[in-house]
Amino acid sequence: MGLDSVEILVNVENAFGITISNYEAEKIATVGDIHCLVWRTLQGRQSMRCKTQQLFHKLRYTLATKFKVPKETIELDASLNEIFPVANRRMLYRKLEKELQLKLPPLVLPPGWVVVLLITGCVLIIGTGVVSLVLVLRFNYTRWLYVLPVLAMLLTKFISNVLDPVRTVFEPAALNDYARLVLTLNYGTMVQENGTNQKEVELVIDHIIADIAGVEIHEVTPEKHLGYDLGID
């Protein structure tokens, strides 16, 4: 087997948490052979690690092909805040969610804005609370003034919503931690309901092959020979 074939099998093993023996590897000729081998191995198994690796490869492929993120920058410890496009990030993030067909964690405020919102909320809520107490207890104003802190909370929430366009920060930022969080958010859909889905397994394998062979995903079909059709040594 050539280096490309070995790299594909190593990536497949890592993605699904399995081991492919030399005997099994020698019998692989087509994309479909890999599909069948991996699916036979995975049937009846459910692995958090497996799903995390699959999700990472799916994220990696989508970022590289749909969002033009340089492939060499998409590593497990890469910061999404550094590699994901900054311009129109919120719009692109919604597009990413649509492409992945998964629920993604919301983007958050930059640290500076977090401090501003925290200070604003404290000033409004604590300030109106103190003012209410003084006016009611010291000057015998109506007890309805106690509603002011509640209104301050609502105003703080409103200000937070107004700041939505500023929420452009990934948290967690590291791609491996982010993938785990996405898996957690979608675990019920990805595993509990569907188990290990054969179509998903095949899609991940196809992405790995396309990535290493340098071909478009639509070119990777079950009947394609790894060497003759895809040029994989």
Q: Mean pLDDT over residues 88-104, rounded? A: 94
Q: Which segment of 93-107, 163-177, 190-204 scores lowest on mean pLDDT?
A: 190-204
180 and 146 together in one domain: no
- Which of 166, 186, 205 is the last residue before a domain boundary? 166
Q: What is the mean pLDDT of the chain?
A: 89
pLDDT at 45: 59
For residue 124, give both structure tokens.
Answer: 């409004």
Going by C-beta distance under 8 Å and a sequence separation of 6 or more, which residues neighbour residue 1?
9, 25, 26
136 and 199 together in one domain: no
For residue 113, give both structure tokens.
Answer: 């804005």
The Cα–Cα gap between 207 and 84 comes to 20
User: Count of domains in the chain?
Assistant: 2
Q: Is residue 233 part of a domain?
A: no
Q: Is residue 208 part of a domain?
A: yes
Partner residues linked to 225 by β-bridges: 30
CB 1 within 8 A of CB 229: no
56 and 150 together in one domain: no
* 180: three-class secondary structure by DSSP: helix
Model's pTM, two decimal places? 0.66
The Cα–Cα gap between 93 and 75 comes to 19
Q: Is residue 156 part of a domain?
A: yes
CB 37 within 8 A of CB 196: no
89 and 203 together in one domain: yes
92 and 18 together in one domain: yes
101 and 125 together in one domain: no
Q: Is residue 226 part of a domain?
A: no
CB 175 within 8 A of CB 77: yes
Q: Is residue 161 part of a domain?
A: yes
Whether the predicted pLDDT of 194 surpasses 60: no
More confident residue, 200 or 179: 179
Q: Which domain holds residue 157?
A: 111-166
* Cα Rg of the chain (Å, integer): 25
For residue 140, give both structure tokens.
Answer: 């015998």
Instruction: Round to the nearest angstrom and report the end-to-end CA distance of the chain.
Output: 7
120 and 94 together in one domain: no
132 and 47 together in one domain: no
Q: Is residue 195 part of a domain?
A: yes
119 and 153 together in one domain: yes
